[in-house]
Structure 1
Amino acid sequence: MSASATTPSIIQTVAENGLCAGCGLCQSVAGEAVVQMRLSSAGYLRPYVRAALSEQQARVLRDVCPGMHVGHAPQPDAAPQHTLWGPLVGVRAGHSLDPEIRRQGSSGGGISAIASWLLDTAQVDFVAQIAVSDADPLRNEMRLSRSRAEVLAAAGSRYAPSAPLAGLDALLARGERFAFVGKPCDVAALRRYALHDARVDRLVVCMISFMCAGIPSIRGTHELLDKLGADRSQLKSFRYRGDGWPGMAKAVTHDGKVYETDYNSSWGTVLNKHLQFRCKICPDGTGEFADIVCADAWYGKDGYPDFAERDGRSLILSRTRRGEAMVSAAMAAGALSADELPVSDIARMQPYQVNRKQMVLGRLLATWLARRHAPRYRRMGLLKAALQANKIEWLRNAWGTLRRAKGEQL
């Protein structure tokens, strides 16, 4: 953790109170000579402060850091906002019509299909997305994909820390048009930063996100590999899922040995036990600030998804008019096949996100009581969502957060 006598108050407040999402925007705003993202002792990406922020840098970060502020700005032409699901223009379920993209993507290949189509139609010069590092199969790094092959190589979920905004200034300095793919908190920060840097609206053609259940510490991956019996020092490759839907967590060592387990065992029994604290008080697991959001369009019953292996299917939400135009055009061009869905179907496919949105106000209040610091969430329908919740469960969540808030590793 980056606390010292010279730590600027804005970063110290966010990091020391467990509010950091690890997006890396502070490094881009201040420059790597001032702030550098590093892996903390708890296994999360955190800002390490090397010099004092200027007043201007501190002012910008106070407004754009998702550990300080997340909210919708009033816009006269904004899409209708659903209490649980945020701005919605189009709701569909479908899949990539490229069989390889459909199989290698985390669900039906929705994000990879749209990203590849944007490149093929020259609407963007590159796609900025997180992919596995060539140097370390457990490390994530920003990748600039300029072809279908490169998009495909970056396909698949990465359930470990990533900081895709750490190099944002360098991306914008290229002067090229690009699509940005990131976690909901990354996209929220990028959208807000557009108010401070006009290059964002000029160069970022499309902001794409995915539904997120939280970011595990790298310790979660280490525990998973230990459970599989795989030697981390001998890893040749590792993927969290994909190559099917939902796909297997799969480790391959240099001697050719393969270790794997199903998605429900990897995420459900190991990785989700290592989430960073900021994720537990997040109001936006569904990418409300993106143009387009994709997620698993789970089949299931009785409010619980069925994780049986089958052909991938993506839930595809367009949140802006621009996003809707792109989804429609990608379908017309044969990149995507998708059918419209009633909004009520989202809850059946993503029951976890329903609970998350309904409970977050209680968790937020508990965080404030425990730490006297919490992010400001504005125009996100949290009170309305809380009123829809089971009151006993809501109170239980708030009490549990209050008890954990002081002991959580940051």
Structure 2
Amino acid sequence: MLLWIGSSPKWQRAMFDVETIKRNGLCAGCGLCAGIADRSDPAIVMETTDTGYRRPRVVGPVAPALAQQIDAVCPGANIRHERDEHEAEYHPVWGPLIAARLGWSTDTELRRNASSGGGISAILVHLLASGEVDFVLQTAVSPDSPVRNALAVSTGRDDVFQAAGSRYAPSSPLEDIAAHLDKPGRFAFVGKPCDVAGLRQLARIDPRVNEKVPYMLAFMCAGVPSYAGTSALLKEMGVQDESAVTAFRYRGDGWPGFATARLADGTTFKMDYDTSWGHILNRHLQFRCKICPDGIGEFADIVCADGWHCDESGNPLFDEQDGRSIVITRTARGEALLQRAVTAGTLLTEPVALGSLEHMQPFQSRRKGMVVARLGAMMLTGWRRPRYVGLELARNARRLGLKALARNLAGTLRRLVGKETLD
């Protein structure tokens, strides 16, 4: 089962088109396919489906050149490292790695408002204040609905503050990427690991990306729940009428913070993080997230995550505390940026032992190993599998052990048998 992982036999190189990607459950909803289509006469548009995910819809003829680009850059169908791109040693579990630290914003309000200490937010504030970038592209609450996401353009600290905090719902931050690449100025991009992987793959064929996007930042991701997950969460919180919600956040205002909904009459509903994410939202993940080998942002310059405190047994604790982020630099450019943010006083950091990350992020430390068995289940049931290259999946599978591999294989087989589509 391991022989085809990371290799590219001829039959596995068959082109992926949009419909094939969706039907086989490979779409991550990033919007890149729509983002690189001709804006004057788009062949592909993004929409929210009845199942609550963001998906592309083909509305016109897809030119052969566009089809080839989609096949090459779609992060749902491809995630591949080209080792000559790396400036860092490749850690088999944690990917390209120059240094790992714990960090948090020195802005106490921003630290509290963010989901995990404001590590990314502090770096963005430095980038904007220093003039290194003209703006930031990041996901924030939609201006049209407090329970939906939208792409935000941040130009200063207040914008970054408003966009801070986890958004556990679909987003398509690459939906208009060509338009932003055509604009004057340079920008930093913040997204899920798959979003950053897609943008990095686009950079291989579009020189504008490296010219206009000097920094790509990511946050570790355990998967994208559908908007149906948000509705289920609100219902469990006690909200009877979703349309009555005037403000909503999944986390933040503390660490880990509470899922919080406020109604027009001032009524407020809250739920703790362990319940909201651990028992509700993560039951609504799209299939592509269940076979994702990169929840850790391997293609970013800098990636951040919750730097959970742990109990004596090494298990993460979710008690309310002052937030702190794991901050991993993956490129020389990212490391230099982090050093400048520390020198400028927007970010505080302290050392962290690499071995501690397995306790702070136990799921991410095992994730690559799980993927091998799940891809094996796809192979056995005849589904098209994504192309994953250079991610040390086989090595991680051996590290996970036969019992865990068998459990993941059997569980995925149960989900796949008899399905007509995985989307």
| DSSP 3-state at the match of 1:144 | strand
| DSSP 3-state at the match of 1:53 | coil
Instruction: Indicate the residue corresponding to 1:404 in structure 2.
Output: 415
Instruction: Indicate the residue corresponding to 1:277 in structure 2.
Output: 287
1:146–1:388 distance in 2 versus 1, CA, 3 Å = same
Instruction: Indicate the residue corresponding to 2:137 in structure 1.
Output: 128
Is the counterpart of residue 249 in structure 1 residue 259 in structure 2? yes
Instruction: Indicate the residue corresponding to 1:265 in structure 2.
Output: 275
Q: 2:170 aligns with which of 161, 164, 169?
A: 161
Mapping of residues 25-174 of structure 1, within 5 Å: 25-31=32-38, 33-75=42-84, 78-174=87-183
- Summarize deviations over 1:266-307 as a string: whole Å, max 9, x none: 001100000000000000000000000000001113343100
TM-score by length of 1: 0.96
Q: 1:76, CA displacement in angstroms?
A: 6.5
Query: After the TM superposition, which of the residue ranges 331-340 and 301-310 deviates more from structure 2?
Result: 301-310
Query: After the TM superposition, which of the residue ranges 224-233 and 143-152 deviates more from structure 2?
Result: 224-233
Instruction: Indicate the residue corresponding to 2:192 in structure 1.
Output: 183
Instruction: Indicate the residue corresponding to 1:3 in structure 2.
Output: none
Q: 1:30, CA displacement in angstroms?
A: 1.6
Instruction: Indicate the residue corresponding to 2:347 in structure 1.
Output: 336
Instruction: Indicate the residue corresponding to 1:367 in structure 2.
Output: 378
| DSSP 3-state at the match of 2:310 | strand
- Summarize deviations over 1:36-86 as a string: whole Å, max 9, x none: 111112111111110121110011110110121101112165210111100
Q: Aligned partners of 2:237 and 2:383: how far apart in 1?
A: 41
Query: After the TM superposition, which of the residue ranges 333-342 and 262-271 deviates more from structure 2?
Result: 333-342
Is the counterpart of residue 20 in structure 1 residue 30 in structure 2? no
Instruction: Indicate the residue corresponding to 1:395 in structure 2.
Output: 406
Is the 8 Å Cα contact of residues 219 and 297 (structure 2) preserved in structure 1? yes
Q: Aligned partners of 1:186 and 1:303: how far apart in 2?
A: 31
- Summarize deviations over 1:102-127 as a string: whole Å, max 9, x none: 00111010010000110000000001
Q: Aligned partners of 1:284 and 1:9: how far apart in 2?
A: 20
Partner amino acid, structure 1, of 2:188: A
Is the 8 Å Cα contact of residues 42 and 409 (structure 1) preserved in structure 2? no
Is the counterpart of residue 380 in structure 1 residue 387 in structure 2? no
Q: 1:192 aligns with which of 190, 201, 204?
A: 201
Is the 8 Å Cα contact of residues 17 and 67 (structure 2) preserved in structure 1? yes
Q: Aligned partners of 1:246 and 1:339: how far apart in 2?
A: 20
Q: Aligned partners of 1:372 and 1:254: how far apart in 2?
A: 47
Is the counterpart of residue 326 in structure 1 residue 337 in structure 2? yes
Instruction: Indicate the residue corresponding to 1:358 in structure 2.
Output: 369
Instruction: Indicate the residue corresponding to 1:314 in structure 2.
Output: 325
TM-score by length of 2: 0.93
Q: 1:239 aligns with which of 223, 233, 249?
A: 249
Q: Aligned partners of 2:73 and 2:213: how far apart in 1?
A: 17
Instruction: Indicate the residue corresponding to 2:305 in structure 1.
Output: 295
Partner amino acid, structure 1, of 2:328: L
Q: Aligned partners of 1:393 and 1:309: how far apart in 2?
A: 32
Partner amino acid, structure 2, of 1:23: C
Partner amino acid, structure 1, of 2:46: M
Q: Aligned partners of 2:416 and 2:360: how far apart in 1?
A: 30
Is the 8 Å Cα contact of residues 86 and 96 (structure 2) preserved in structure 1? no
Q: Aligned partners of 2:253 and 2:16: how far apart in 1?
A: 45
- Summarize deviations over 1:208-235 as a string: whole Å, max 9, x none: 0000000001000000111112120101
Partner amino acid, structure 2, of 1:239: R
Is the 8 Å Cα contact of residues 90 and 340 (structure 1) preserved in structure 2? no
| DSSP 3-state at the match of 1:137 | coil
Is the 8 Å Cα contact of residues 181 and 208 (structure 1) preserved in structure 2? yes
How many residue pairs are counted as aligned between the two chains? 403
Q: 1:409, CA displacement in angstroms?
A: 5.5
Is the 8 Å Cα contact of residues 22 and 422 (structure 2) preserved in structure 1? no
Q: Aligned partners of 1:9 and 1:21: how far apart in 2?
A: 14
For structure 2, the 5+ residue unaligned runs are 1-14
1:244–1:55 distance in 2 versus 1, CA, 3 Å = same
Q: 1:388, CA displacement in angstroms?
A: 0.5
Give RMSD over aligned pairs: 1.3
Partner amino acid, structure 2, of 1:403: R
Is the 8 Å Cα contact of residues 16 and 77 (structure 2) preserved in structure 1? no
Q: Aligned partners of 1:208 and 1:142: how far apart in 2?
A: 15
Query: After the TM superposition, which of the residue ranges 224-233 and 258-267 deviates more from structure 2?
Result: 224-233
Q: Aligned partners of 1:372 and 1:296: how far apart in 2?
A: 34
Q: Aligned partners of 1:54 and 1:274: how far apart in 2?
A: 34
Instruction: Indicate the residue corresponding to 1:4 in structure 2.
Output: none
Partner amino acid, structure 2, of 1:86: G
Is the 8 Å Cα contact of residues 132 and 139 (structure 1) preserved in structure 2? yes
- Summarize deviations over 1:141-191 as a string: whole Å, max 9, x none: 111000000000000000000000001011101031000000000000000
For structure 1, the 5+ residue unaligned runs are 1-7
